[in-house]
Structure 1
């Protein structure tokens, strides 16, 4: 079953490569560096390059499907920074992080 999913992933990328090769790409302005690719080409390249990391959740049940929980845990710190601008003291930041950690653990 897993090999079939992996082969489907590969076949989708092969079909996609034919499509993103046709995307218009603006000309590079300078002589250095790689040739530019379209947004679809950049995405396709990353999907090929990081295939093992993307499909890792299929082979290792300890790996979560997404990282939403980590993003949720960080979100409150960013909201606090937006509202206050900063933490007044280092101890205040540590206390805030500790309280958020306890709340997040209780929710889980």
Structure 2
């Protein structure tokens, strides 16, 4: 089966400790699992290949401690966790340039 986008079951979220992965990388002042109560959707989402046990989880934007304002701000870098063969591989990807349009999509 190919990768599919879906909501994470509560059992899988607990099994893979997704709340703590989110909290480690996401800049939000609210932390998981309390943050799920502030959204319309009350579950994590991921891209998963259940046959092989692989998944990709977006943890959101990282903090920029060295911002021009002198305050901690969200950066242009996002953290993704790829789970393969029982290991979590962290990817920090940055997007640059203009806002996404049909003519100029944002590239990671």
Q: TM-score, normalised by structure 2?
A: 0.23
TM-score (norm 1): 0.23
Larger radius of gyration: 1
Structure with bigger strand share is: 2
Q: Which structure is higher in helix share?
A: 1
